[in-house]
Amino acid sequence: MKNVIEVKNLTKKYKELKAIDDLSFEVYEGEILGLLGPNGSGKSTTINCLLSLLNFNKGTIKIFGKTMKPSSYDIKEKIGVVFQDIAVFEELNVIDNINYFCGLYIKDKDTRKKYVLDAINLVGLENYKKFYPKQLSGGLLRRLNIACGIAHKPKLIFLDEPTVAVDPQSRNNILEGIKKLRDEGSTIVYTTHYMEEVEIICDRVIIIDKGSIIASGTTDEVKHLASIEEKVTVEVVDLENKYLEEIKNLKHVDEVKYDNNILFITYKKGKNNLIDLIDYLKINKINYTKIFSERPTLNDVFLELTGKELRD
Amino acid sequence: MIVFNTFLKVVKSSLTPIIMFTLILIIFGITNFSTNDNSLNFEVTKPDILIINNDKNEGLTKNLIEYLTKNSNIIKVKDDKYKVDDALFYRDVNYVIIIPKNFKEDFLNNKNPEIQIKSTKDYQSSLAEMMLERYIKVASIYKSQLTSEDKIIENINETLSTKVDVLLTSKLDANNLNKMTFFYNFANYSILAGCVYVICLILSSFKNENIKKRTIISSMNYKEYNRKLLLSNSLFVILLWLFYCILSLLLIGKSMFTYHGLIYILNLFIFSICSLSIAFLIGNLINNKNAINGIVNIIALGSSFLCGAFVPLEFLPTGVINIAHVLPSYYYIKTNEIIKSIEVIDIHSLKPVLANVSILILFTIGFSVITNIISKNKQKIG
């Protein structure tokens, strides 16, 4: 697979504090790479270093095989960035905003016109072309922010938490748009602390904490780092302690918690744990209202590796 | 073109505050313009005098009063100490002459009677004092030579009626030059305030932290982007300058089509470019739209007061003028004052003008270099 980004031994210090500590990774052509980590883990600092917006103390950054510098305009023309903060002109309407940012890359008027309309369609702002940012809801504003960043059809797109504070409908629209961009050939670096989004759209994940990579691989590969295999949740009223003790002794059970009439069971191994549990409940005539099973999430992996949750 | 087009759209969206601001400046300017300064004019004036005569109104005393009446405006105020003091305080009279009892007799008998005076101690009162002194000196000379009171009076009148014709050789149109200087001095405030207000307003959008980040990571060279932004703002400044030139033509008239008028216009052009560089520097330093009004007041109003745009330089204390030397407005206004007094326009008379203009150009280069350094440093966010 062809490398689009190559980062080697990247280190960024703020005085004595290491925001990024010897970070090395690659981004392959045509993939969506999820850069996952809690707030302050170094995701945005990494992106800013990659884009030459920040000086760094050590390491090398190559994008499209060339060393990235502030004056690398030939590389920059292939890059699109959507920052976490909304970056649009209050004085311009939707179409003018997209046209302006696209115009920083595309000189030809006709091509630009087509690209602007494509971007509007991609993010679903067809009915808001003449709206000013103040007239848009938070979700629509985020969509405009994305359209401004990707209108020039870049080969490499950085999306820095583009779905923060977005309603579910806009979130789905944005995620669908991102997948479409990947399908059209773009390589995407997607930073977020929403693990659900990463699981939906990312081909590969890098989990960062305190400026260092603590796990990387496909979502399945990363999930395998978790010592648990399955999590089962059962809604059951007034479960007696003797049953709790018996469940603890069932095959493959690692941990049992009972709180507010909800029973949480984690399994370390096994494939048919849920069936075995249902059989046990039936035999003992324990009535339950709801039962469901989950595979370990990236949050579980993160919790296990760092002792804290991703959204901390 | 995309930067320029967006610049126009941002200007268009801020058109209402820009028009209102410009209108306020014009109204303020025209009001200021209508006040007159006659420092270069020759004008016959008469002081306002109050005469309190405690002597009999006859002979020499009567002649003195007649002489004063002929050469000044006699004001009547009730002979009351407080009323007289009030009249002086409120400048209803400039000079009070109190002729003592038996003045005539005592004067003719060499008893040196004392005429009491009260004055406002301004140039009008000096004029009145000069008249009184002149009369007494002439009367004293004739009194020492002649014995007849009638003869003394006759000789005094003859001497004091002597006139000298004065021919003013200056061809300067003092009235119009004063008007032009007034107008162009005030333009220091209007141009500077207009530039800082509008350019900062526009740059606060373009230099918004997030928009700037997006621009820096784009494929447009940031230097080129800044240059385009500067050119767009220059167009606005040139329009503002043209507007002021046209306004001066309307208010002052054909006098603007003289060499003097041309130098005023060129001086304003250089100052407008300097104002652009100041505004661009401030626009690069601030991002807050709410702070713009305060900054306009500090920069434009402050330098206008310190450098003599509202109060002529000759009336400002030395300390203030010393401070003003570090501000470009001082050299612009100083040039206007120099133009006002240039009799013949040639290389020699234009030397101080060229020196001041050179200083303005140096200021412009200095501000531009600082802006460039700041802009370069701000390309990195950490």
> pLDDT tens digits, residue range B49-82?
999 989 888 888 999 999 999 989 999 888 888 8
Q: Tell whether B165 is covered by a domain.
A: no
Q: Does residue A311 carry a pLDDT above 80?
A: no
User: Which CATH number is B70's domain given?
Assistant: 3.40.1710.10
List of long-range contacts for A303-306, beta carbons under 8 Å, 24+ apart = A304/A225, A304/A226, A304/A227, A305/A207, A305/A209, A305/A214, A305/A215, A305/A225, A306/A209, A306/A214
Q: Which pLDDT band, with edges at 50, 70 and 90, does B32 fall under?
A: low
Does B39 have pLDDT greater than 60?
Answer: no
Residue B167 lies in a domain: no
Query: Is B265 contained in some domain?
Result: yes
Res B37: pLDDT: 53
B202/B108 same-domain check: no
Residues in A touching B379 (Cβ below 8 Å)? 70
| Mean pLDDT score across all residues of chain B | 86
- Domain ends where: B115, B134, B160? B160
Q: Name every chain B residue with its beta carbon within 8 A of the beta carbon of A101.
A: 214, 218
Q: What is the pLDDT of residue B50?
A: 92
* Token output for A137: 């809801």
Residues of B in contact with A70 (CB under 8 A): 216, 379-380
- Which chain A residues are Cβ-neighbours of B380 within 8 angstroms? 53-55, 70
- Contact predicate B184/B263, CB 8 Å: no
Pick from A182, A162, A184, A158: which is nearest to A172 by CA?
A162
Q: Domain total for chain B?
A: 2
Q: Are residues B71 and B130 in the same domain?
A: yes
Q: Which of residues 261-280 of A touch B (CB under 8 A)?
A: none
- pLDDT tops 90 at residue B357: yes
Cβ-defined contact of B219 to A91 (cutoff 8 Å): no
Cβ atoms of A27 and A5 within 8 Å: the answer is yes
Q: Is residue B38 over pLDDT 60?
A: no
Angle, CA of A237, A242 and A247, to the nearest 5° = 80
Nearest CA in chain A to B12: A91
| Co-location of B182 and B34 in the same domain | yes
Mean per-residue pLDDT, B259-270: 93
CA–CA dist B267, B350 (Å, integer)? 12
DSSP codes joined into one string, B340-369: HH-SS-SHHHHHHHHHHHHHHHHHHHHHHH
Give residue B238's pLDDT band: very low, low, confident or very high (50, 70, 90): very high
Contact A89 B214 (CB under 8 A): no
Question: Cβ contact (<8 Å) for A81 and B214?
Answer: yes
Instruction: Report ipTM for this prediction.
Output: 0.79
Q: Which among B129, B160, B191 is the end of a domain? A: B160
Average pLDDT of chain A to the nearest whole number: 88
Sketch out chain A's domains with CATH numbers. Answer: 3-223 (3.40.50.300), 230-295 (3.30.70.100)
Query: Hey, what are A56's tokens?
Result: 């760094």
Are B84 and B190 members of one domain? no
Q: Is residue B243 part of a domain?
A: yes
Work out the minimum CA distance from A18 to partner chain B, whole angstroms.
Answer: 14
Check pLDDT > 80 for residue B36.
Answer: no
Interface test with A, best of B8, B214, B216 (most A CBs within 10 A): B214
- Tell me: pLDDT of B85 over 80: yes
Is residue B166 one of the residues assigned to a domain? no
Q: Encoding tokens for residue A82?
A: 């959507």
- Over residues A249-271, mean pLDDT: 87
pLDDT of residue B33: 66
**Residue B223 clears pLDDT 90, i.e. is over it:** no
Percent of chain A, pLDDT > 90? 45
- The answer to whether B301 and B193 have CB atoms below 8 angstroms apart is yes
Query: Does the residue B382 lie in any domain?
Result: no
At B284, the pLDDT band (50, 70, 90 cuts) reads: confident
Same domain for B205 and B140, yes or no, is no
B-chain residues within 8 Å CB-CB of A96? 6, 9
Chain B residues with CB inside 8 Å of A89's CB? 6, 10, 205, 211
The answer to whether residue B314 is domain-embedded is yes
CA dist A247 and A255 (Å) reads: 9
Q: Are B35 and B53 part of one and the same domain?
A: no
Same domain, yes or no: B33 and B66: no
At A195-244, the pLDDT tens digits run: 888 888 899 999 888 889 988 999 888 887 777 778 899 999 888 888 88
Q: Quick one: which of B280, B279, B271, B236 has its CA closest to B361?
A: B271
What pLDDT is attached to residue A80?
Answer: 93
B78 shares its domain with B186: no
Judged by CB atoms closer than 8 Å, whether chains meet at A85 and B210 is answered as: yes
pLDDT tens readout for residues B127-138:
899 999 999 999
B151 and B198 both lie in a single domain: no
Structural domain for B247, as ranges: 2-39+172-377
pLDDT at position B250 is 87
Residue B293 included in any domain? yes
Query: Is the domain of B202 the same as that of B222?
Result: yes
Residue B159, Cβ density class (10 Å: 0-12 exposed, 13-18 middle, ≥19 buried):
middle
H or E element in which residue B202 lies:
helix B174-206
CB-count burial class (<10 Å; 0-12, 13-18, 19+) for A169: exposed
Residue B335 and residue B247 share a domain: yes
B184 and B259 assigned to the same domain: yes
Write the secondary structure of B6-28 as one string of H (helix), E (strand) and C (coil): HHHHHHHHCHHHHHHHHHHHHHH
Domain boundary among B160, B182, B203: B160
